Amino acid sequence: MTPHHHLRRPARSLALATTLAVIATLLSTLAGPTALAANPAGERDAERRSFVAWDSTVINPGGRIRAHGKLPGGKRKVALQVKVERSWQTIDTTRTNRKGKFRVAGRLDWYGKHRVRVLAPARRPFVRSTKARVLPPYAPVGNRKDFAFIHGTSVRKNYRFNPCQKITYRINSEDVGPEARPLIKAGMTQLSWATGLKFKYVGKSRLIPYTMAKRRHYPRGTDLVIAFATHAEVPDFDKRAAAGFGGPRWLHPARNSKGQRVWMTTEAGVTLSTDYWHNGFAHGYFDNTRATIGELILHEIGHAVGLGHVPAAPQEIMNGRGYYRYPDGYYKGLYNLGDLNGLSKVGLKQGCLRPVRAGRVTEVEVAEPPLS
């Protein structure tokens, strides 16, 4: 067979498809009267007058995707949904009024381009979709390609949390006082915006993830602990010349939305240096004299969700060698383009995970120490 034949083959199947489409149209025309009987004229008119208007589709976190419209068929349920890999997640629901009118407004605090839709479920569901964008409330710098995973280079081999489940976390800020808590929470908010993961603060803890004995678990209902610890408690701060550690601790066999085998993070830990809090980092996210605790927090929680270092990319928070001083003289606790791209790949965009049993293996402890 010559290449020429290869070229012609799609054309032939296109012709076939066209023929089939014509036949389908003919059949539906022939079936017309029956269809009309089942679908009174009024209903058809209502269908013709139905619409969805998208009022707001480019937002920052904190904003809402908004739409209004009119649907056929009296009072019915309407959902506003966002697409994730192989499924849709509902971000708002309402009902149409008697005239079929509705308004929906769903929060979408998850950076990136998304497909959103209005769905009115029924035997014949009404669906209209469009593109939406959630933009960071600042202009990230750097390069989209500058990210790395801790475990393996492919998205599939990296460890990640199940993005379709709330991730609960606790804070141990005993060493440094309550001032640290809102700073950590601000970091978690940024992480959530970048990944689409939902984190829920469930209280204080006295644990230090880094010093926990082998085979030890967090108490039930805790997926992540973020703790401050002194260099006396964690000598590795000095030995590894680090100000923090972060990474997954326990994994569970799982399948991704494509049915492939993956590892799901069930516990992760972050340990931050109390000594550097007292004598080192600026206590905030922006400072024009020195690197900030905000940058350190963002870096270590980035490890906790599966990102590694990008030593050749000084502008990224995940650089691993130090923090970037912007041309305006400031250190800024903000994820940049490579960070954001990497974080999007360990989050909701990749779809839900489903824990499975793999033979007798139900869970494994991450053998290697967390990254600093």
Binding positions for Zn ion, rule: CB under 5 A: 320, 371
Minimum CB distance to Zn ion smaller for 248 or for 320:
320
Minimum CB distance to Zn ion smaller for 80 or for 297:
297
What is the spatial distance between Cα 72 and Cα 333, in angstroms, rounded to a whole number?
Answer: 49
Q: Least distance to Zn ion from the beta carbon of 113, Å?
A: 29
What is the spatial distance between Cα 338 and Cα 309, in angstroms, rounded to a whole number?
Answer: 11
Minimum CB distance to Zn ion smaller for 168 or for 195:
195
What is the spatial distance between Cα 331 and Cα 298, in angstroms, rounded to a whole number?
Answer: 13
User: What are the Cα distances from residue 184, in Å, to 227, 228, 297, 360?
Assistant: 10, 11, 7, 37
Q: Least distance to Zn ion from the beta carbon of 119, Å?
A: 42
Q: Least distance to Zn ion from the beta carbon of 299, Å?
A: 5
Q: Least distance to Zn ion from the beta carbon of 371, Å?
A: 4
Q: Least distance to Zn ion from the beta carbon of 143, Å?
A: 18
* 3-class SS of residue 338: helix
Residues sharing a CB contact under 8 Å with residue 332, sequence separation 6 or more, in sequence order: 285, 286, 292, 295, 324, 326
Minimum CB distance to Zn ion smaller for 293 or for 371:
371
Q: What is the DSSP string of 28-96?
A: HHHTHHHHHHHS-HHHHHHHHH-EEEEEE-EE-TT-EEEEEEE-SSSS-EEEEEEEETTEEEEEEEEE-
What is the spatial distance between Cα 339 and Cα 309, in angstroms, rounded to a whole number?
Answer: 10
The two three-digit tokens of residue 159, written as one number: 């460890």
Minimum CB distance to Zn ion smaller for 224 or for 353:
224
> How many other C-beta atoms lie within 10 A of the C-beta of residue 185?
15
Minimum CB distance to Zn ion smaller for 67 or for 371:
371
Q: Least distance to Zn ion from the beta carbon of 311, Å?
A: 10
